[in-house]
Amino acid sequence: MTRIALYGAAGRMGRTLVEVCRETEGAELSGAVERPGSPFAGADVGELAGTGPLGLKVSDDLPAALAASDVLIDFSHASATPDAVAACRAAGRALVVGTTGLDEATGEAIREAAREIPVVWAPNMSVGVNLCFRLLELAARALGETVDIEVIEAHHRHKVDAPSGTALAMGRIVAETLGRDLDQCAVYGRQGHTGERDRQTIGFETIRAGDIVGEHTVMFAGTGERVEITHRATSRRTFAGGAVRAALWLQGREPGLYDMQDVLGLRETS
C-alpha cells in the first residue's frame, strides 16, 4: 500500500485526487495539506471532496503529513511548490509535481531534490496527453520542414498561466525534433500587420473561457493537407488518475528525475 499525501488538497484538483485515491487499489490517502491560513484548515477532506467523511482533516502541517506518508502529490500553486520540494527533500519522501507555471528557480530546486529523492515532474499527468507527446515526435519527423506548425490551447477562465505548460511542452517536443530552439522560434499570438509567416516559427494561441478543462491541438499545415493532433480533457479525473499512477510507480524507485513518459513506459519504445 502506498500512502499518499496531497498538497493543495482543498483545490479543484485536490478534491478530485481525494476521489481517485479512494478508488485506486494500492493507494491510501494519508495526508491533506493546505498552506497556512487556509480557510479549509480543520475540515474533513472527504466532505470537501463530496465523498463523505473520511476522518482526515485538512492541515497546514506539511512535515507531519509527510511523516505519515510515502509520497506527496503537489497540485498547489506555483508559489507553494518550493515548500513542497524542500519538505520532501528534508523528509526523504518521493514527490509528484503536477503544478504548472513554475519559474526557473523552482525547476532548479526540483532537479536538485531529484538527486536525493525520486521525483515525477510532468507538465501534464494525463495518459492521453503523454501519448500525444509521442505522436508529435513522429509527426514532426515525417512532415519536417514542409509544414507550418501552430499550437492552440484552451482552458477554464481561472487558469493563471499562459500558454499552458502542456502547450509549451508540445511546442518544445516539436522544436527539438526539428532541431530548433523554441525560445528563438516561438510566436505568442499575432496582431496587426505581421507580414508573411516564417515557416521556422512555431505559433501559440491561447483561449481562456468558461469551464473548459483542457484542450490542446498541434496543427501541421502544409499545401493541400493538414494534420492535427488533438487532446480534449472533459474531466479533471484524467489528470488525477495519472498523478496517482505516478505516485504508485514511484514506490521503491531510486532517486532521480522522472516524467510521465517513464511512468507509462513510453520512453522505452524510442
Tell me how far the alpha carbon of residue 147 is from its chain's centroid.
Answer: 28
Tens of pLDDT, residue by residue over 241-252, are: 999 999 999 999
Residue 155 is among the residues annotated as catalytic for this protein: yes
159, 193, 216, 231: the active-site residue: 159
Give the per-residue pLDDT at 270. 41
C-alpha cell of residue 224: 493541400
Q: What is the pLDDT of residue 246?
A: 97
Find out if CATH 3.30.360.10 is the number for domain 127-233: yes
pLDDT digit string (tens) for 46-91?
999 998 899 999 999 999 999 999 999 999 999 999 999 999 999 9
Q: Name the packing angle between helices 12-23 and 237-250 (round to 10°).
A: 60
| Amino acid at site 152 | I
Task: Identify the CATH homologous superfamily for domain 2-125+236-269.
Answer: NAD(P)-binding Rossmann-like Domain (3.40.50.720)
pLDDT of residue 269: 46
Catalytic residue among 155, 193, 216, 231: 155
How confident is the model over 135-151, as a mean pLDDT?
Answer: 95
> Does residue 57 have an active-site annotation?
no
Residue that has been written with the C-alpha cell 502542456 in this structure: 166
**What are the beta bridge partners of residue 74?**
7, 97
Per-residue pLDDT tens for 17-32? 999 999 999 999 999 9
pLDDT digits (tens, 9 = 90+) for 195-246: 999 999 999 999 999 999 999 999 999 999 999 999 999 988 999 999 999 9
User: Where in the chain are all domains bearing CATH 3.30.360.10?
Assistant: 127-233
The one-letter amino acid at 136: L
N- to C-terminal Cα separation, the chain: 31
Domain with CATH 3.40.50.720 in the chain: 2-125+236-269
Average pLDDT, the chain: 94
Q: What value does the mean pLDDT take over residues 126-134? A: 92
